[in-house]
């Protein structure tokens, strides 16, 4: 029987207490599986907290949407884990340049650049050193992983990407010029560089999942294949199946 460590969002304190009355908590170092109780936002926090620890993460939904979570049930946890399907995810690495220096952060869902004021952002988009959009006037732009393609990327009318597709989504947010540009699918090996034009007049922030850097001048984004993390999903409800089903949701 695997050993568990339970971690929970503040709103899921009751579920945490309930699980710990039924199962021993081996602690984060000795556990075989990390069980996260909360919503998708808490799952992202848990992914970051346990990156590099070599422990799979199994989430149970005590939040709102719970796309990255399994149903919350207290019974038969060991049996569910034994039958669970696994998905390996790789984060994006963001390198954000500001007048203060360079800040790095990882993102499992997306790196997004967003205007900070009432004025639209004006940016240049480069892919692997080649300018692709010399001047994009917009609310922002984002780079999404396959696992994150059903989150902010989908809300911005970006494509849903199958988990094993080995591509990234580059998606504009409310593009004003060129108005008809709807984004691009890029090989997962691509490096996207966004240069902020008129940064003093039109300030832009960069956000890697829930980590924000304000007043950026230049941001580079690429997949970090050296980092990996395993997520676990109930049998028949794998992350790949959920993403496929999302494309047929009406």
Task: Tell me what the mean pLDDT of segment 118-126 comes to.
Answer: 97
d(CA 90, CA 13): 29
Q: What residue ranges in the chain does DSSP mark as E strands?
A: 4-8, 33-38, 57-61, 85-89, 92-98, 101-107, 110-115, 121-127, 130-138, 140-144, 167-173, 184-187, 191-197, 204-208, 211-213, 218-223, 229-233
The pLDDT of 142-169, averaged and rounded, is: 95
Check whether residue 109 and residue 217 sit in a common domain: yes
According to the model, what pLDDT value does residue 249 have? 80
List pLDDT tens digits, range 61-112. 998 888 999 999 999 999 999 999 999 999 999 999 999 999 999 999 999 9
pLDDT for 64:
85
To the query of whether residue 139 is one of the catalytic residues in this protein, the response is: no
Q: Are residues 59 and 83 in the same domain?
A: yes
Which residue among 40, 71, 139, 234 is the active-site one? Answer: 40
Residue 143 shares a structural domain with residue 241: no
Mean pLDDT score, 182-209 = 97
Q: Kindly state the average pLDDT of the residues 138-148.
A: 97
What mean pLDDT value characterizes the chain?
96
> Using an 8 Å Cβ cutoff, are 67 and 242 in contact?
yes
Provide the sign of the torsion angle of the four alpha carbons 58, 39, 75, 6, taken in this order.
Answer: positive
97 and 114 both lie in a single domain: yes
Strands of 184-187's sheet, edge to edge?
A: 184-187, 167-173, 140-144, 110-115, 204-208, 211-213
Which pLDDT belongs to residue 65?
82
Total residue count of the chain as it appears in this document: 250
pLDDT, residue 20, reads: 96
pLDDT at 27: 96
- Averaged pLDDT for residues 186-205: 97
Look up residue 85 and give its DSSP letter.
E
Task: Give the CATH number of the domain where residue 166 resides.
Answer: 2.60.200.30
- Mean of the pLDDT values across residues 205-229? 97
Which residue in 202, 223, 220 sits closest to 136, CA to CA? 202
Average pLDDT over residues 221-232: 96
If asked whether residues 144 and 217 sit together in one domain, one would say: yes
- What's the average model confidence in pLDDT over 122-146? 97
Structural domain total, the chain: 2
* Whole-number Å distance between alpha carbons of 220 and 193: 4
CATH assignment at residue 53: 3.40.50.10330
CB atoms within 10 A of CB 13: 12
Same domain assignment for residues 218 and 234: no
Q: What is the pLDDT of residue 14?
A: 97
Are 112 and 209 in the same domain? Answer: yes
pLDDT of residue 96: 98
The maximal CA–CA distance of the chain, rounded, in angstroms, is 59
Does 241 share its domain with 123?
Answer: no
Using 50, 70 and 90 to split pLDDT, how confident is the model at 8? very high
Q: For the CA atoms of the chain, what is the radius of gyration?
A: 19
Average pLDDT estimate for 12-27: 96
- 154 lies in which domain range? 92-223
- Tens of pLDDT, residue by residue over 36-61, are 999 999 999 999 999 999 999 999 99
Higher-pLDDT residue of 195 and 179 is: 195
Which tokens sit at 98? 């500001």
């Amino acid at each position: 029987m695997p050993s568990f460590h339970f971690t929970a969002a503040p709103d899921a304190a009751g579920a945490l207490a309930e699980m710990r009355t039924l199962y021993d908590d081996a602690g984060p170092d000795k556990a075989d599986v990390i069980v996260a109780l909360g919503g998708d936002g808490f799952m992202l926090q848990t992914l970051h907290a346990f990156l590099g620890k070599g422990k799979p993460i199994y989430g149970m939904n005590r939040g709102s949407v719970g796309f990255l979570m399994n149903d919350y049930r207290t019974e038969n946890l060991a049996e569910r884990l034994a039958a669970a399907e696994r998905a390996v995810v790789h984060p994006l690495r963001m390198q954000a340049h500001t007048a203060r220096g360079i800040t790095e952060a990882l993102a499992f869902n997306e790196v997004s650049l967003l205007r900070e004021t009432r004025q639209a952002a004006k940016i240049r988009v480069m892919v692997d050193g080649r300018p692709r959009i010399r001047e994009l006037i917009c609310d922002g732009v984002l780079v999404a992983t396959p696992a994150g393609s059903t989150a902010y990327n989908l809300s911005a009318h970006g494509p849903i990407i199958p988990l094993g597709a080995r591509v990234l989504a580059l998606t504009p947010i409310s593009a004003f010029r060129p108005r008809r540009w709807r984004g691009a699918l890029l090989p997962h090996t691509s490096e996207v560089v966004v240069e902020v034009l008129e940064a003093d007049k039109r300030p832009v922030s960069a956000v890697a999942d829930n980590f924000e850097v304000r007043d950026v001048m230049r941001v580079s984004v690429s997949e970090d294949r050296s980092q990996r993390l395993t997520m676990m999903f109930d049998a028949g409800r794998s992350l790949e199946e959920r993403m496929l089903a999302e494309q047929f949701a009406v």
